Amino acid sequence: MLDPQLLRNDLEQVKATLALRGFTVDYEILAHLEAARKQCQIETQQLQNERNRHSKAIGQAKSAGEDITPLLEQVSQLGEQLKAKEDKLLAIQAHLNDILMRMPNLPHETVPVGTSEGDNVEIRRWGTPPVFTFTPQDHVDLGHQLGLLDLEIAAKITGARFSFLRGSLARLHRVLIQFMLDLHTQAHGYVEVYVPYLVNAESLRGTGQLPKFVEDLFYLPSQDYYLIPTAEVPVTNISRDVIWETDQLPVKFVCHTPCFRSEAGNYGKDTRGMIRQHQFEKVELVQLVKPDDSYLALEELTGHAETVLQRLELPYRVVSLCTGDLGFAAAKTYDLEVWLPGQQKYREISSCSNFEAFQARRMKARWRDPNTNKPALLHTLNGSGLAVGRTLVAIMENYQDESGRIAIPQALQSYMNGQTHLT
């Protein structure tokens, strides 16, 4: 959530900055509500002061032995007026908060200006896409020929956008998770956590999925829980209503979970194979840091995700998302895009974002600033380290040979008991 003080003191600048994201709001209503809030707050304060004066007068009249009945009636009337004003103030504030909860984060000054993914800026590349002497197949055909990927069984069990893996492919999928967790805990200093896969609405509001993205969520009305769209939600909410001490920062968590998304906004997009599914696995990196450290932390976190691709020797590129392609809560995002020979293009495999205080303000996630000895808002960051299904797809397509066999990356062979190929 944006700082309400920004809207009160610098509304025009906020308006101009959000316009870079293609976001508009009825600023006349916002200004009207803010003016009404101010006036109502003043009137509420005046009534409180008046009631206090009358209450004091009652005490004095009692001491003097005077009749306090008229004063009691006045205090009662003031109490009713005050209750009405307080209710009105709460209603105005609720309306303002609803508007604020639907406003995206302000992009950082280093974010490239643009309207769509075509305006994203490539930062760097690593590795060289493989050159084949044959026409490379995509992961669906490769998996089908090997008898290891069966989308028809998944469709029979559930429906579209699910997958069924068997044998060595299912094992490689599991091995990827273990490899990523080992790397991030042993080499990058993250603490592994295990979290619920069902969360309440407050957790989703805290990270920004609600109220804006309700259609993308799977909801269980009988329990009033939501299936998590990403581990970002439960892991970041560990810090909700928490004040961290300086010596505890930075906090670095890594977590593997399944993720569940309705893909309501992507109807008809990436319907083939495992690229965009309703259920998929992800290893998530989350950092909670002091505000002054958050952009260095973003570079570090992005590097940690890149290391996974480098260890697996998968060619990729890093792009900085433009203002029009930023996620709702992000102030700045780097996407890692891995090369997929079956599509002959780079596809997203990780998004690494700095949310600054946007999520922390919603969650009241704070740290104790030693300069003031008072609580201040943290900055939160997260990124995929990596999306497991897409990593599996990238291995299948980049490590294929003409016969349809798939080599197992050297870094994973020890996890596979020395197995060198999927067969």
Instruction: Give the residue numbers marked as catalytic.
Output: 261, 276, 348, 351, 390
Residue 362's SS3 state is helix
Nearest to 198 by CA among 173, 228, 177: 228
Tokens of 224: 């009033």
Angle at CA 239, nearest 5°, toward 234 and 242?
Answer: 145
| Other C-beta atoms lying within 10 Å of the C-beta of residue 339 | 23
Secondary structure in 3-state letters for 137-166: CCHHHHHHHHCCECHHHHHHHCCCCCCCEC
| Cα distances (angstroms) measured from residue 381 to each of 230, 236, 299, 301 | 14, 9, 11, 8
Q: Is 230 annotated as a binding residue?
A: yes
Tokens of 121: 């800026």
| Other C-beta atoms lying within 10 Å of the C-beta of residue 112 | 16
Q: Is 261 annotated as a binding residue?
A: yes
Q: Which residues contact 124 (CB under 8 A, 6 or more apart)?
A: 317, 318
Q: Is 320 annotated as a binding residue?
A: no
CA dihedral 222, 225, 227, 233 (to 10 degrees): 170
> Hey, which bits of 80-148 come out as E strands?
121-126
Q: Is 12 annotated as a binding residue?
A: no
Secondary structure in 3-state letters for 22-58: CCCCCHHHHHHHHHHHHHHHHHHHHHHHHHHHHHHHH
Q: Is 231 annotated as a binding residue?
A: yes
Terminus-to-terminus CA distance in the chain, angstroms? 50
Q: Is 232 annotated as a binding residue?
A: yes
Q: Is 263 annotated as a binding residue?
A: yes
Q: Residue 330 in contact with residue 356, Cβ under 8 Å?
A: no
d(CA 418, CA 423): 14
Q: Is 353 annotated as a binding residue?
A: no
Q: Residue 284 in contact with residue 304, Cβ under 8 Å?
A: no
With b for 16 or more beta-carbon neighbours within 10 A and e for fewer, the 132-156 pattern comes to eeeebbbbbbbbeebebbbbeebee
d(CA 330, CA 386): 18
Q: Is 262 annotated as a binding residue?
A: yes
d(CA 343, CA 287): 33
Residue numbers belonging to the annotated binding site for L-serine: 230-232, 261, 284, 382, 384
Residue numbers belonging to the annotated binding site: 230-232, 261-263, 284, 348-351, 382, 384
Residue numbers belonging to the annotated binding site for ATP: 261-263, 348-351
